[in-house]
């Protein structure tokens, strides 16, 4: 099995990898992330969000979506006095 970035699926296991939890549709990921489906497709094609190709559609592991959001978290802004 091959991950979307060409690596063997065995290389994609672990935190946020292809074997974490249930697989979500692109529409489900977009809803959770509060972005468009096209944004999710762009992230998948850019290799920033791991996904599995199932027929003609993509599925994203729930853990991968959560890991992406956690990595994208920014620090709270500090107020200047």
Q: Give per-residue pLDDT as tens, 1-56.
A: 445 555 444 444 455 555 557 999 999 999 999 999 999 999 999 999 999 999 99
Domain topology for 9-71: Multidrug-efflux Transporter Regulator; Chain: A; Domain 2 (1.10.1660)
In angstroms, how far is the first alpha carbon of the chain from the final one? 55
Helix/strand/coil for 24: strand
65 within 8 A of 24, measured Cβ to Cβ? yes
21 within 8 A of 60, measured Cβ to Cβ? no
DSSP 79: P
Spatial separation of the C-alpha atoms in residues 48 and 42, rounded to whole Å: 9
pTM of this structure: 0.69
């Amino acid at each position: 099995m091959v991950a979307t970035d060409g690596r063997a699926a065995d290389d994609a296991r672990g935190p946020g990898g292809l074997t974490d939890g249930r697989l979500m549709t692109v529409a489900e990921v977009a809803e959770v992330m509060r972005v468009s489906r096209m944004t999710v497709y762009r992230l998948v094609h850019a290799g920033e969000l791991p996904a599995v190709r199932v027929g003609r559609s993509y599925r994203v592991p729930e853990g991968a979506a959560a890991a992406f959001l956690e990595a994208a978290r920014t620090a709270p802004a500090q107020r200047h006095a």
